[in-house]
Amino acid sequence: MSAAPAAMPAAKTHAKRRAIAPSKGRRPWTFYALTALFVFYVLALYGPMICIYILSFQDVRGGLVFPMKGFSLHWFVDLFTQVRTGDVKGAFSRSIKLAILVTAITVVVSFLSAMAFRRRFPGDNIVFALMIGSLVAPGLVLGIGVGLMFNFLGIDTSWWGSALGAQLSWTLPFGVLVMFAVMSRFNPAWEEAAYDLGATRWQTIRLVIVPVLAPGLVAVALFGFTLSYDEFARTLQTAGPQNTLPLEIWSMTMNVTSPSLYALGTVTTVISFLVIGISLGTIVLMQKRRGQRAPMH
Amino acid sequence: MAIQRGAIELAGLTKSYDGVTPVVQGVNLKIPDGAYCCFLGPSGCGKTTILRMIAGHEDPTDGEILIGGENVVGLPPVERGTAMMFQSYALFPHLSVRDNIAFALRVRGQDKAERYRLTDAMIEKVRLTELRDRLPGQLSGGQQQRVALARAAITEPRVLLLDEPLSALDEQLRIQMRSELRRMQRELGITFIHVTHSQLEAIALADIVVVMEKGQIKQSGAARDVYAAPKDRYVAEFLGGQNVFSGRVGTVNGDRIVLQASEMKQVAIPLCGARVKQGDAIDVAVRRDDINLLRPGATLAGDTSSLASRVMGIEYQGNFVKVMLDPVGSDEFVAYVPERTFFHDPLDIGDVVMAAWPADHARLLA
């Protein structure tokens, strides 16, 4: 009882200080220290890549190191026309197709497993642990294992078969984890309300569950696509005779000594950013349209 | 029609989740068509489970639920003709007010023009026309409640089930929405079943109050009967407004008994047909607003019971003053004194008083 009146003036001055601080416009030194740290981080992150992007725009005399020689799109054209750099076009289209396939399967399976995990069922802990297990398994070893197994079964490895499977072992646990986080904000009463109002199970999924979870599903799709698009370790031993794009880039680093390698780096980065941009844009648009969420209890 | 369509009968209704401990046990109740019925009890007493069983969101372990004379156990909500308003309203966050209310018509395959015509009429009824295109997240608590009500009512159910409909609102809004619920119930003319843990809400709204404890009905009846004539200590304490004393029967003489308790002498209690004998343990209730506080030495009116006590605390409540008196045994002892009466001769903490009440206003509890 006696503590309450004593604590009150302290709380009041504290509130006052907090209210006044921003209007003075003075920030503590820690703000600048942390800003500097973050700027350094971004530079360290993008600096090496920016070098590659810049060097990919050289003209025909261009080499693999600075200084920059001329400015043209020569190496981009070279990338898609010259045969000696390998089958970039084919690898690119295979990677995109594979990523789309992986994305579709990841979204559907993650959604269904999140629906299943809404209620407890016998062995749910084991299923969950096994799933996380495949996430921590070393990718290269897992890829070799998949390759061996296909070999043992007498099935040819291929990017659309064994590599798809190996990549799913990586994207599915991620997708399911994201869906779990999304589902934790799903109010089960929405489903009951739909049932109460006469919706069939299918109508409930189509008109309530999927639209409500849509931003989460887009996030899962984004994960699936980017994880697959630049997956290397699991794909290396499972892609079969035809390379995916990351494998192609890797083999190019071995035998291509022209800036077309850099041009390839620039193109794949642009694609990645486009996918991320479109996904995030979609989510932002959905959230905006939806406004603030109804408070939950 | 012999049996009215919105009349409800619960017969031996029992629910157990694990097969061992019943959450609801053997509930029997009749609710007439068009009544406003409140289930009242603390959390975990099974009131929400009963509501959900009537709604068709849970299946009873045993017993029958009759709506309009027909056993509805096993039927989906739509075939029962019930609609439920959920505790946090469960409005669909991605749909506008209009589409939320139109949802039931949409899943029934009604065409857009007809659907919106009916919806807009309902929106008018709950006064939400200006907010028609808003999303639930952009509405206040009270507005959300109106949307939830409209969404449930659009299917013209014969029974509307409300799960703690006012608990998400702040105090002032709660009182305002309370009267709005009652207005809507009169307008729609259908049976409302409302679950609450607030006795104020229950007695303000209900035609029938059902007081529950541990899965069983303790007492049911008109709000005034339950409030003014509680059957036992539990009901009296839950509804409030009563002092409950326990003691033993001293002597029985005619239609009165004398209560014997450590701090009381010669308190006479009307018997009202109850059968007790000397030495029986009994509970007695005296309404807090029946108690007059007199200065020591004042003359008592005839046929008055009284008790010497001391003022322990005073709370001003606006229209009355709550005076906490020395507890009788372990039982709280409180008097509600009308404001004007109190300030005519204000008491202070520590003052010795005579607490007196008309002898025949005391009630013997079961």
DSSP B322-347: EEEEEEETTEEEEEEEEHHHHHHS--
- Calpha distance B122→B101 (Å, rounded): 8
Q: Is the pLDDT of residue B348 over 50?
A: yes
User: What band does A33 get if pLDDT is binned at 50, 70 and 90?
Assistant: very high
What is residue A16's predicted lDDT score, i.e. its pLDDT? 44
ipTM of the complex: 0.81
**Residue of chain B nearest A286, judged by CA positions:** B94
Mark yes or no for CB contact B138/A194 under 8 Å.
no
Stretch among A193-197, B106-110, B145-149, B258-262 having the lowest mean pLDDT: B258-262
What is residue B35's predicted lDDT score, i.e. its pLDDT? 93
H or E, element range at B68: none
pLDDT tens digits for B155-173? 889 999 999 988 888 888 8
Q: What is the mean pLDDT of residues B224-246?
A: 89
Q: What is the mean pLDDT of residues B1-20?
A: 83
- Calpha distance B28→B54 (Å, rounded): 13
Q: Is the pLDDT of residue B188 over 90?
A: no
pLDDT tens digits for A39-76? 999 999 888 888 888 888 888 777 778 888 888 888 88
Of the candidates B90, B91, B108, the beta carbon closest to that of A192 is on B90
The structure tokens 């159910």 sit at B157
User: What band does A290 get if pLDDT is binned at 50, 70 and 90?
Assistant: low
Q: What is the mean pLDDT of residues A168-174?
A: 89
pLDDT tens digits for B333-343? 899 999 998 99
Backbone dihedral angles phi then psi of residue B216, each to the nearest 5 degrees: -125, 155
Positive/negative CA dihedral, B22, B27, B32, B35:
negative
Mark yes or no for CB contact A212/B94 under 8 Å.
yes
Backbone dihedral angles phi then psi of residue A282, each to the nearest 5 degrees: -65, -45
H or E, element range at B160: strand B159-163
DSSP structural state of residue A295: P
Residues of A in contact with B76 (CB under 8 A): 195, 198
What is residue A85's predicted lDDT score, i.e. its pLDDT? 57
Contacts A–B by Cβ distance under 8 A? 87
Mark yes or no for CB contact A196/B77 under 8 Å.
yes
Cα A194 → chain centroid: 33
Q: Is the pLDDT of residue A255 over 90?
A: no
What is residue B1's predicted lDDT score, i.e. its pLDDT? 45
Q: How far is B277 from chain A (nearest CA, A)?
A: 48
User: What band does A197 get if pLDDT is binned at 50, 70 and 90?
Assistant: very high
Mark yes or no for CB contact B135/A297 under 8 Å.
no
The structure tokens 């035609």 sit at B207
What is residue A82's predicted lDDT score, i.e. its pLDDT? 62
What is residue A8's predicted lDDT score, i.e. its pLDDT? 43
Q: What is the mean pLDDT of residues B90-96?
A: 92
pLDDT tens digits for A97-118? 999 999 999 999 999 998 888 8
pLDDT tens digits for B102-158? 999 999 998 999 999 999 999 988 888 899 889 998 898 889 999 999 999 998 899
pLDDT tens digits for B50-84? 999 999 999 999 999 999 889 999 899 989 999 99
Q: Is the pLDDT of residue B263 over 70?
A: no
Mark yes or no for CB contact A291/B138 under 8 Å.
yes
Q: What is the mean pLDDT of residues B284-307?
A: 85
- Calpha distance A214→A220 (Å, rounded): 10
- Calpha distance A277→A269 (Å, rounded): 12
CA proximity to A238, closest of A157, A156, A153, A151: A157
DSSP A124-186: HHHHHHHHHHHHHS-HHHHHHHHHHHHHHHTPPP-TTTHHHHHHHHHHHHHHHHHHHHHHTT-
Looking at every residue in chain A, the average pLDDT score rounds to 82
Torsion of CA A271, A272, A275, A280, to 10 degrees: -140
What is residue A24's predicted lDDT score, i.e. its pLDDT? 57
Mark yes or no for CB contact B77/A189 under 8 Å.
no
User: What band does A19 get if pLDDT is binned at 50, 70 and 90?
Assistant: very low
Looking at every residue in chain B, the average pLDDT score rounds to 88
Q: How far is B215 from chain A (nearest CA, A)?
A: 23
Residues of A in contact with B83 (CB under 8 A): 196-197
Winning range, highest mean pLDDT, from A67-71, A288-292, B220-224: B220-224
Q: How far is B304 from chain A (nearest CA, A)?
A: 40
CA proximity to B118, closest of B85, B86, B151: B151
- Calpha distance B82→B306 (Å, rounded): 52
Please name the fold of domain B8-233.
Rossmann fold (3.40.50)
- Calpha distance A294→B202 (Å, rounded): 27
Answer CATH for A89-255 from 3.30.70.580, 1.10.10.10, 1.10.630.10, 1.10.3720.10: 1.10.3720.10
- Calpha distance B359→B221 (Å, rounded): 25
- Calpha distance B234→B219 (Å, rounded): 10
Higher-pLDDT residue of B310, B269: B310
Buried/exposed code over B289-313 (b: 16+ C-beta within 10 A; e: otherwise): ebbbbbeeeeeeeeebbbbebebee
User: What band does B327 get if pLDDT is binned at 50, 70 and 90?
Assistant: confident
- Calpha distance B76→B187 (Å, rounded): 26
Q: Is the pLDDT of residue A171 over 80?
A: yes
Residues of A in contact with B155 (CB under 8 A): 197-198
CA proximity to A226, closest of A278, A187, A176: A278
Is A159:A242 a contact under the CB 8 Å cutoff?
A: yes
Mark yes or no for CB contact B88/A297 under 8 Å.
yes
Class of domain B242-365: mainly beta
Three-state secondary structure call for residue A14: helix
What is residue A111's predicted lDDT score, i.e. its pLDDT? 93
Mark yes or no for CB contact A196/B55 under 8 Å.
yes
Of the candidates A192, A212, A297, the beta carbon closest to that of B168 is on A297
Assign residue A118 a region (left: φ > 0; alpha: ψ between -120 and 50; beta: otherwise).
alpha
Stretch among A21-35, B71-85, B216-230, B232-246 having the lowest mean pLDDT: A21-35
Q: Is the pLDDT of residue B206 over 80?
A: yes
Higher-pLDDT residue of B251, B75: B75
What is residue B265's predicted lDDT score, i.e. its pLDDT? 64
At what angle are helices A260-290 and A29-55 packed, to 10 degrees?
130
What is residue B59's predicted lDDT score, i.e. its pLDDT? 92
Q: What is the mean pLDDT of residues A261-275?
A: 86
Is A122:A157 a contact under the CB 8 Å cutoff?
A: no
Mark yes or no for CB contact B57/A192 under 8 Å.
yes
Backbone dihedral angles phi then psi of residue B217, each to the nearest 5 degrees: -80, 125
Residues of A in contact with B168 (CB under 8 A): 295, 297
Higher-pLDDT residue of B254, B207: B207
- Calpha distance A78→B96 (Å, rounded): 53
Torsion of CA B192, B195, B200, B201, to 10 degrees: -40
Mark yes or no for CB contact B93/A207 under 8 Å.
no
